[in-house]
Amino acid sequence: MTHIRFSRGSHRPTALAPFRRPAIVRAGKHLYWGLLFLITIFSGCKVGQNYQRPQVSLPAEFRGAAKMDSVTVARVPWREFFQHTELQQLIDRALVGNFDLQIAIKRIEESQATLRQARYTLSPTVQAQVTASTVTPSKNSLNGLSLENFIGSRHLEDYNANLGLSWELDIWGKLRRQNEATRATYLQTEEAAKAVQTQLIANVARGYFTLLLLDAQLDIARRNLVLGDSIVQLVGLQKEAGEVTQLAVEQAQAQRQMAALIRSQLEQAIVIQENGLRQLLGDMPDSIPRSTRLEAFPLADTLLTGVPVQLLSNRPDVRASEMNLAAAHAQMGVAQASMYPAFVITGSSGFNAFRAGNWFLLPSSLFYTVGGGLTQPIFGRRQLKTQLEIARVRQEQAAIQFRQVVTNSVREVSDALVGVQKLKEQEQVAALRVSTLKGAITNAKLLFNSGMATYLEVITAQSNALGAELTLAEIRQQRLNVMVDVYRALGGGWQ
């Protein structure tokens, strides 16, 4: 390490003092201009390449997209996408009370504080210090004899008040790269919070649709329970007339008991689902108001998807992954710069005296020191090289994760799009099946009354119709869910 140093202080004058002071002043001026020259030359230096987004191979359009268009539903604010009043109110409450989102916001505040501190990284450090001490060495010590000969006393006091300065010149861009990493980390937390919001909105909507599904299935179970009562009554009359056996009565009762069991299970599931949705809102368990029915909730048959490249700017999780990559890239620059020489300027100025009465006596008690140090790492047990290797590996990992997130995003959109198409077809088929099986129940009852069908045929028709109605309700709910999936997968919900 090379040091350049000069000082002025309250020292005992000597015969050479008048000749030393001009030389010190000249050295200080030379040091000033030399430092200014170094700052000017090296202020633009920065080790490592600036961050650039890696090339990602994306298809021209999503698989299953109805048509290629640059317009995407992801740019639609969530309040316009979900226009149902009750659902909007639930989402509003979730955005305020959800615990995961609150934690994500606190992480943003934490990153903001770090970012504010990072703005001062290039500034010098200034500290104030005031000290006072007294020393009484032994008479038989060298210090004691020296003090007695020098000041006529073995008692020495020292009073010091000064401002100290330390400033590392960012010659190789290490501090600037660190600032880049801090800013990228801050942006990552912002995008992560947006990703939490998009997922939260999707979860609230899906939870609400699940409640509508359970309501619809409960209505189906109750209707089948009423139907089961009529069949039990009818079979009982047939038994009294001697047309069927007790086995027929027991089979009809078992079918009715199945409908009652399904009703109880659905009532339990509704309470659990309401409690879960309340948890998303940050509330205690309670009921969820809903005035609409599953079949009445509007569906969007066609959703504009845009092109895959828009995911890089629309999806918060993709942007968060890219900011993680940018931070890792900057940290690699920090590790590279740490292997180069570090230049630190230090200085201090204040008042120093060995008597309290002379502490602030000007100019005798005034002193100042200025120094510069250049430190080049030579052997540090391979720590710096290891840090660089680790930083490079982490940067490569972040690049792989970024490509993974992008690929997964395209897949999620494609999966949701095929769901939009195929679930519509499935709902049409399921609706026809329900209509057919309801007719089968009516025909089976008429044939049973006329003695042309057995009780097993009636019970089978009722069981098939119950299952078909439950399936139709599930497909309807899946269509609502996949509509939400397309919106979230494209990056909608954070606007």
- The H-assigned helical ranges of 359-454 are 383-449
Q: Give 318: exposed, middle or buried? Use CB within 10 Å, 0-12, 13-18, 19+.
A: buried
Task: Tokens 């409908």: give the residue.
Answer: 259
CATH 2.20.200.10-classified regions of the chain: 1-42+126-169+342-375
First-residue to last-residue Cα distance in the chain: 55
Q: Report how far apart, in Å, the C-alpha atoms of 34 and of each of 4, 27, 31, 198, 240 are.
A: 11, 10, 5, 55, 117
Q: Say if residues 158 and 132 touch (Cβ distance below 8 Å).
A: yes
Q: Give 204: exposed, middle or buried? Use CB within 10 Å, 0-12, 13-18, 19+.
A: buried
pLDDT for res 36? 54
In angstroms, the CA 266 to CA 268 distance is 5
Residue type, 68: M
Q: What angle do CA 107, 115, 201 make, to 5 degrees?
A: 30
Q: Quick check: pTM over 0.85?
A: no
Q: Say if residues 22 and 379 touch (Cβ distance below 8 Å).
A: no
The class level of CATH for 48-122+172-341+381-489 reads mainly alpha
In angstroms, the CA 33 to CA 22 distance is 17
**Tens place of pLDDT per residue across the chain (495 aa):** 333 333 333 333 333 333 344 444 454 555 555 555 555 555 556 777 888 888 888 888 888 777 767 788 889 999 999 999 999 999 999 999 999 999 999 999 999 898 888 888 888 899 999 999 988 888 778 777 777 777 667 678 889 999 999 988 888 888 888 899 999 999 999 999 999 999 999 999 999 999 999 999 999 888 888 878 887 887 788 788 777 778 878 888 888 888 899 899 999 999 999 999 999 999 999 999 988 999 888 887 678 888 888 888 999 999 999 999 999 999 999 898 888 888 888 999 999 988 888 888 888 889 889 888 888 888 777 888 899 899 999 999 999 999 999 999 999 999 999 998 899 999 999 999 999 988 888 888 787 777 777 667 777 787 788 889 899 999 999 999 999 999 999 998 988
For residue 142 the two structure tokens come to 């060298």
> Minimal CA–CA distance to 325: which of 387, 388, 403, 385?
403
Q: Report how far apart, in Å, the C-alpha atoms of 449 and of each of 247, 418, 465 are.
A: 17, 46, 19
In angstroms, the CA 459 to CA 299 distance is 35
Q: Is the peptide bond before 377 cis (omega within 30 degrees of 0)?
A: no
CATH 1.20.1600.10-classified regions of the chain: 48-122+172-341+381-489
pLDDT for res 42? 54
CATH code, residues 1-42+126-169+342-375:
2.20.200.10
